[in-house]
Amino acid sequence: MKAPLSWLKDYVDIDVSAEQLMQKLFSCGFEVEELIEVGKDISGVVVGEVIECEPVEGTHLHVCKVDCGAHGILQICCGADNVKKGIKAPVALVGATVYATAKDHVTVEGVVTIKKGKLRGIESDGMLCSGVEIGVNGDMFEGGDYCGLLLLPQNSENGADIKPIVGLDDYIFDIAVTANRPDCQSVFGIAREVAAVLGKKVKEPDYSYSAVSGKYEDIKISDLAPEICPRYIGHYVKDVKIAPSPMWIRKRLALCGLRSINNVVDITNFVLLEMGQPMHAFDLATLGGREIVVRRARENEKIVTLDNNEFGLCPENLVICDGEKPVALAGVMGGLNSEITENTKEVLFEAAKFARDSVRKTARSLGQHTDSSALFEKGVNEYTTERAMARALNLIQRLNCGTVTDVHVDVKTEYSKTESKKMTVSAKKINDLLGITVPTEKMAEILNNLSFKVIRKGDELDLTVPDWREDIDLYPDIAEEIIRLYGYEHINGTFMPSAAITNGGYSAEQKAEIKLKRALSEKGMYEISTYSFYSPKDFDMLHIPEGDNRRNAIKILNPISEELSIMRTTLAPSVMQVIVRNLRRGNMEGRVYELAKIYLADKLPIETFPEERKILALGMWGKCDFFDLKGVTECVADVLNTKFEYVPTKKDYLHPGITATVLCDGVEVGYLGMVSPEIAQELALERPAFIAELDYEELKKHARTFRYSPLPKFPVETRDLALVCDKKITCGEIEKAVYGACKYVTDVRLFDVYEGGQVGEGKKSMAFTVTFTPNDEEITSRIDGFVKKILGNLKFNLGVELR
Amino acid sequence: MEIESDIKKTDQDVDEALESVSSSKQLQDVKMKFLGKTGRVSELMKCMRDVVAEKKREVGQLLNELRARTEAKFNALNEKLKKKELEERYAAETIDVTMPGRKSANGAFHPNTLIKDELVSIFSGMGFEVFEGPEIENDYYNFTALNTPADHPARDMQDTFYLSRDLLLRTQTSAGQIRVMENKKPPIKILSPGKVYRSDDDATHSPMFSQMEGLVVDKGITLCDLKGMLDEFAKKVFGNDVKTRLRPSYFPFTEPSVEVDVSCFECGGKGCRLCKGTGWIEVLGAGMVNRRVLEGCGVDPDVYTGFAFGMGIERIAMLKYGINNMKLLFEGDTRFLKQFKD
């Protein structure tokens, strides 16, 4: 929201500097994002009167004597075509800063400092300037667009600073207005806040106008969609004379970044900026039946807007129609068919309130965003709607561009809200919420300054809320109004003296997660955090087949891009992407983990809350092998105080011989394996990579809290067994058989594997250390028996022999 | 006296044998030869049987003396040899302690985890419990219950990712506030950390980021209490000299609402690049819980008041560690991750 200081001064007697005002606005909730100094780059430019002007033969130059008042009479060489004796123009003195222009005299190429110089051997003690050179265009100052010298009024004092004369001494506040204050989306709205924060009175814009009698039956307005058009006001102006706007209007539009079009259109824009109420002017002659119908668009109805774009509409769009056809896209843009042209003689002004949502949906669905739609989306209030119309008519008269009639059609609907809100608040309750004591009379003063009507009754304040303050709802809103003007520096820290003691910290479940993550970090794993969404292409990357369950991902209806368009159902693609990214960046080895959610829907598209399941994903690449990764999954089992079993398996994206399913208490909890050479090649992985995923929600169920058991009275016994078996027999099978054969076995640990001549073709030797732990009896003498039984089982079940 | 000459001979033999001993192991062998069960001294002892009665006492004493003498000789030499051997061992085992150590490589937590844990530890000391709600929320918890009905201007403040007409990716951890208040009676002090999502993607915005929400609801809670708690938070996170500043802001679910700045911990408030010359850094949004929100959750706003605050974890991490691009937090680049060994 842009508010020029010069404009604000119309309504408030501002007696502080622009910087001070910026601070004040900041403290009461209006952050000035940028304080723009209009003539920031221009310095040392004064009024000069050309008192002598002689052409330099053979050139387009003139050598002039310029009277610069206190700066003396300077000789300046000038190439402008409009230089002549008697004119007054800006003179950039030696040392001044002005804009340098390209050969076209229009394009600004930066800032230059003026030096004493010679043009064609003629000394020049400064420069006579054009509008462009001092940053003034035709909307800022009459003649500012001309590429010759900028002509200043003859009554300008020679030698005076040109900044105040051409309006370069101004500031523009670019203010961030919070969503609860649509009433401040205008220069006058900001002026009210400025007045309140400075403790000054605000001067209202002039709303007065006189009307001549018109034919009342001449204009008919009907509102067929009151739920999205709660209020519609039309006013008829005749004898319209379309002409350029006067300088003061053009200048204000220019300061706020709007282009001047003609007097009538400029008035609507001026009121939009001043009051925050978008308006529209229809050429009445183009309205069929001299009638306005506000209604929802018909399916596929067409409109061509002022900017010559055609849109196909639907009933979600509100249109303003004449007797036959749409003539404006309500709140967004007028139609080309009813545009004000230089031949316009009769105008119907519109000031209306359109529902925020309706305008937003229309602007978004059509991609048509305007200053008007932006304001309606934020919200306008009907108090301002009424006044904006009056203000526009006032300006019509002031600019003398038409005759205001008394044909005023005001359609109020059941959705219209014009009643002033009244409320009673307790000063004590406000102070109780703030935690400080603001004197009641101070509260009343602050609220008065904010245009509340206040009646004090002891502790209570009877308030009438200003009509434009639709954000004021309950007493805390009043508390906020008071503290933002009283000053937040009055709030001193206290420490909940009245609060009950509560016991804080992580829950047991949260602690378990942290414990697991800590263990992983200590095992050399780095925690990563990747996006919860990815692309359907990520499934292709991992060769996950069409129709696979993992592809049943929840879609984001409005994703930023295809890359981030579905909620993940497995972390594998995310980990894979991290590995790929690292290898591409030359990080040739790494170990990472992520504990994050996947999102599983029972049904697509989703209708109910999906399941959010925490998954632990592990990734390793570079100097490592399957067993390094398995060491980490074993660590996970240790942290959970449980045991995992590993069964060879196959998985889309993993090496068929180097992949295992992880089981815990017989239940599948995840997998681990090496990225298949095929995918590694497709992704140009230069190092072996390994991925594991463990279902943390499932794992949690198998976690055991440790329980202390008394030390055995008898020592543990160990035996080393060197076994020979078929090559296909796995370590896991043998371990399982050993455990199964004897209840005293508490650990089976492989310590050697051998394949080769000594054990024969198709065979391998595996050596295990088996640990027997006694309960309450001595078992030393029974170990030989146990071993015998173990060997018997191994032979019977797996054909394993003692070597 | 045959036995006496035997004793004398034994003495001589012991001395001779010990002279050739150079290790404690040899010494042990020699000792066995003389003092073992079948050793010379023991054999002589056995001869006592044959000694005539009147001489038994005298011979016995001589033999005992021999045993004691021999043991003493062995012990003395043993001491000496042990000492020598230990010295030799020390010399042999001496290593170059300046050679490099063997490190077991440690990993690290993600910076977000570090910040989250730091925040949780600060606030749990003040009695805050940790609550984690779902990331996929419905319109009610994310907006309506937070005083942001369908036509509310504040909905435009956040670009929401929708999954269906009603379900969405939560845009704020404030959604968790409602779930807690629905299930818990005051006093309430909770922290709600977690991932949130907004359709925004540039150097300082990421479509996924993390927030930490705090909520207190109890009798007599004031804006001053919010300020007091934030002062404590700012000191612990950014340093003891850091001050906080409240300024008016707007959130639909709090009233009054404030933006909270901390004095710049880089320049001490003089103005620098980090604080863009203002001396202050915006760190979080907060306010007194809106009465309508309390009411909606079945908490009587005339009995209880409360405050809530919410901060971006990445923002705190970026400020604290001086990370200039938010993307780095989500890329998993090991060169980045390896630095956070807190």
pLDDT at position B154: 66
**Residue A90 preceded by cis peptide, ω within 30:** no
Segment A142-154 mean pLDDT = 89
pLDDT at A285 over 60: yes
Nearest chain B alpha carbon to A517? B109
Per-residue pLDDT tens for A50-62? 999 999 888 888 9
Task: Answer for the pair B105, A509: CB distance below 8 angstroms, yes or no.
Answer: no
Segment A152-166 mean pLDDT = 93
Min Cα–Cα distance to chain B from A649, Å? 28
Segment A287-303 mean pLDDT = 92
Nearest chain A alpha carbon to B218? A499
The three state secondary structure string of A64-113 is EEEECHHHCEEEEEECCCCCCCCCEEEEEEEEEEEEEECCCCCCEEEEEE
Nearest chain A alpha carbon to B157? A179
How many alpha carbons fall within 13 Å on the CB side of residue B328?
A: 18
pLDDT at position A568: 97
Average pLDDT of chain A is 93
The kind and range of the H/E element at A155 are none
pLDDT at position A173: 97
CA distance A150 to A137: 10
Segment A89-107 mean pLDDT = 90
Percent of chain A with pLDDT over 90: 81
pLDDT at position A24: 94
Q: Does B342 touch chain A (CB under 8 A)?
A: no
Closest by alpha carbon to A98, among A85, A109, A89?
Answer: A109
Q: Which residue has the tokens 């170059």?
A: B96
pLDDT at position A439: 96
pLDDT at position A500: 83
Q: Which of A507, A558, A609 has the CB atom closest to B134's CB atom?
A: A609
Closest by alpha carbon to B258, among B229, B285, B228?
Answer: B285
User: Any bridge partners for residue B208, and if so which?
Assistant: B197
Show the tokens assigned to A230: 């709660």
Task: Answer for the pair A53, A80: CB distance below 8 angstroms, yes or no.
Answer: no
Per-residue pLDDT tens for A485-523? 999 999 999 988 888 888 888 988 899 999 999 999 999
pLDDT at A174 over 90: yes
A435 neighbourhood in chain B, CB within 8 Å? 222-225
Show the tokens assigned to B164: 């269906």
Task: Answer for the pair A699, A686: CB distance below 8 angstroms, yes or no.
Answer: no
Residue to mutate among B160, B225, B230, B242, with most A CBs inside 10 A, is B225
| Phi, psi dihedrals of residue B192, rounded to the nearest 5° | -130, 95
CA distance B260 to B285: 6
pLDDT at A416 over 70: yes
Tell me the pLDDT band of A562, cut-offs 50, 70 and 90.
Answer: very high
Tell me the pLDDT band of A677, cut-offs 50, 70 and 90.
Answer: very high
Q: Is the dihedral of CA A678, A683, A686, A691 positive or negative?
A: negative
* Plot region of A165 (φ>0 → left; ψ -120 to 50 → alpha; else → beta): alpha
Contact criterion met (CB < 8 Å) for A29 and B249: yes
State the ipTM, two decimals.
0.86
Q: Of chain B residues 31-60, which have a CB less than 8 A from chain A?
A: none
Closest by alpha carbon to B163, among A649, A396, A533, A436?
Answer: A533
Task: Answer for the pair A326, A303: CB distance below 8 angstroms, yes or no.
Answer: yes
Residue to mutate among B195, B196, B197, B223, with most A CBs inside 10 A, is B223
pLDDT at position A515: 94
Q: Which of B220, B248, B338 has the CB atom closest to A484's CB atom?
A: B248
pLDDT at position B158: 60
Q: Does B164 touch chain A (CB under 8 A)?
A: yes
Min Cα–Cα distance to chain A from B308, Å? 13
Q: Which of B187, B249, B305 has the CB atom closest to A502's CB atom?
A: B187
Residue to mutate among A470, A488, A582, with most B CBs inside 10 A, is A488
Contact criterion met (CB < 8 Å) for A504 and B128: yes
CA distance A622 to A583: 9
Q: What is the DSSP track for B275-337?
A: TTTSSEEEEEEEEEEPHHHHHHTT--TTT-EEEEEEEEHHHHHHHHHT---TTHHHH--HHHH
Closest by alpha carbon to A78, among A94, A96, A95, A65?
Answer: A65
pLDDT at position B1: 55
What is the residue type of A363?
Answer: A
Contact criterion met (CB < 8 Å) for A582 and B195: no
CA distance A425 to A384: 26
B256 neighbourhood in chain A, CB within 8 Å? 433, 476, 479-480, 483-484
What is the residue type of A630?
Answer: K
Tell me the pLDDT band of A254, cut-offs 50, 70 and 90.
Answer: very high
CA distance A701 to A304: 64
The kind and range of the H/E element at A225 are none
pLDDT tens over chain B, length 342 residues: 577 888 888 888 888 888 888 888 888 988 888 888 888 888 888 887 888 888 888 888 888 888 898 899 889 999 999 999 889 988 888 888 778 777 778 899 999 999 999 999 999 988 999 999 999 999 999 999 999 887 776 676 568 999 998 999 999 998 888 999 998 899 999 999 999 999 988 877 899 999 999 999 999 999 999 999 999 999 999 999 999 999 999 999 999 999 999 999 888 888 888 888 889 999 999 999 999 999 999 999 999 999 999 999 999 999 889 898 899 999 999 999 999 975
Q: Does B255 touch chain A (CB under 8 A)?
A: yes
